[in-house]
């Protein structure tokens, strides 16, 4: 065989091999392309799910903050009203204030318990301090109402504790707003 016939055989062999391999190569390329499409779709689904989970967590936290803020303000108002009612003579509407205080206290404690499970540590610590102020004001209010006070436990002492609680609540509200990303002090955690 001469060189030209060897070349022709080689060209023919490459042509036959190319013809035989082209479906395999095309199938491989198609499979790779489909696999990339599937991976991209899975990644998009995962990102959507993560975004939905972040949104749900944000809504849950925001709802908790709203409930806690509202319950704390109502409890504080009920404590303040009760402190003023304690000034009055017996039988002048204290039962109404006691009922209002009991309801506000239940609502607050429920919101506080929920917050203990989902709020960040910084907010939880601030909430705990506010709760301590409320507990102190509640105990003082009850002792004044029952006329079983110790030295220095006066209506003014209750009001001082409530004034402290007002400041704690203001700082807590600012921290919650910052955590939600609705004020300039937050970490920008708001929803995407």
Q: What is the pLDDT of residue 22?
A: 81
Residue 126: count of CB within 10 angstroms of its CB: 19
Closest CA to 182 of 4, 45, 61, 54: 61
Does residue 70 contact residue 156 with C-beta atoms inside 8 Å?
no
* pLDDT tens per residue, range 98-147: 899 999 999 999 999 999 999 999 999 999 999 999 999 999 888 877 77
**Cut 0.75: pTM above it:** no
Closest CA to 165 of 32, 37, 103, 76: 76
Q: What is the pLDDT of residue 183?
A: 78
Q: What is the pLDDT of residue 190?
A: 46
Q: What is the pLDDT of residue 184?
A: 59
Residue 57 tokens read as 């967590």
CB pairs under 8 A, 24+ apart, for 38-44? none
Query: Among 46-55, 84-93, 121-130, where is mean pLDDT lowest?
Result: 84-93
Residue showing tokens 């002492």 = 157
With b for 16 or more beta-carbon neighbours within 10 A and e for fewer, the 105-117 pattern comes to bebbeebbebbee
Residue 154 tokens read as 């006066």
Rg (CA), the chain: 35
Q: Which segment, 15-29, 94-108, 143-157, is predicted with the most confidence on average?
A: 94-108
Q: What is the pLDDT of residue 192?
A: 38
| Assigned CATH topology for domain 58-180 | A middle domain of Talin 1 (1.20.1420)
Q: What is the pLDDT of residue 188?
A: 46
Looking at the predicted structure, is the pLDDT value of residue 26 above 50? yes
């Amino acid at each position: 065989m001469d060189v030209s016939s060897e070349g022709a055989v080689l060209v023919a062999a490459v042509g036959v091999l190319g013809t035989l391999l082209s479906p395999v190569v095309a199938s491989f390329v198609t499979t790779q392309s489909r696999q990339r499409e599937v991976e991209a779709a899975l990644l998009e689904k995962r990102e959507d799910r993560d975004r939905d989970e972040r949104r749900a967590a944000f809504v849950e936290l925001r709802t908790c903050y709203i409930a806690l803020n509202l319950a704390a303000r109502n409890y504080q108002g009920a404590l303040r009203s009760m402190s003023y009612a304690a000034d009055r003579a017996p039988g002048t509407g204290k039962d109404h204030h006691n009922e209002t205080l009991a309801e506000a206290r239940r609502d607050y404690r429920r919101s506080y318990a929920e917050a203990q499970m989902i709020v960040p540590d910084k907010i939880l610590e601030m909430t705990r301090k506010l709760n301590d102020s409320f507990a102190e004001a509640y105990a003082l209010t009850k002792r004044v109402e029952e006329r079983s006070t110790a030295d220095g436990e006066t209506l003014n002492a209750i009001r001082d504790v409530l004034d402290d609680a007002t400041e704690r609540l203001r700082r807590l509200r600012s921290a919650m707003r910052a955590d939600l990303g609705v004020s300039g002090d937050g970490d920008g955690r708001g929803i995407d």
